[in-house]
Homo-oligomer: A and B are copies of this chain.
Amino acid sequence: MTSPAPAATVHKAVILLSGGLDSSTCLLIARSEGFEVHALSFEYGQRHAVELERARAVASRYGAASHRVLRIELPEPRASALTDPDAVVPRGGVAGGGPIPPTYVPARNTLFLAHAAALGESIGAGVIFIGANVLDYSGYPDCRPEFLEAFERALQLGTKAGVEGGLEFEIRAPLLALTKADIVRRAASLGLDFALTSSCYDPGRGGRPCGGCDSCRLRARGFAEAGLADPAVA
Residues of A near any B CB (own CB < 8 A): 68, 70-71, 73-79, 99-100, 104, 106-111, 113-115, 117-119, 121-123, 141-142, 144, 146-147, 150-151, 153-155, 157-164
Contact = CB atoms under 8 A, between A and B. Distances in A.
Prevailing SS type, chain A contact patch? helix
Contact of A107 (B71, B76, B118, B144): B118
A17 B79 CA distance: 24
Contacts of A153: 150, 153-154
A160 B122 contact: no
B75 A106 contact: no
A123 B159 contact: no
A123 B79 CA distance: 9
Given A99-B164, A110-B159, A119 B150 contact: no
Contacts of A147: 154, 157-158
Given A147-B157, A158-B141, A117 B107 contact: yes
A180 B151 CA distance: 30
Taking the full assembly, how many copies of this chain does it contain? Answer: 2
Nearest to A157: B147
Nearest to A109: B158
23 contacts: A71-B71, A74-B118, A75-B119, A79-B122, A106-B117, A106-B122, A107-B121, A108-B118, A110-B114, A110-B158, A110-B159, A111-B114, A141-B159, A141-B160, A141-B162, A141-B163, A142-B158, A142-B159, A144-B157, A147-B157, A147-B158, A150-B157, A154-B154
A118 B110 contact: yes
Nearest to A38: B75
A60 B155 CA distance: 34
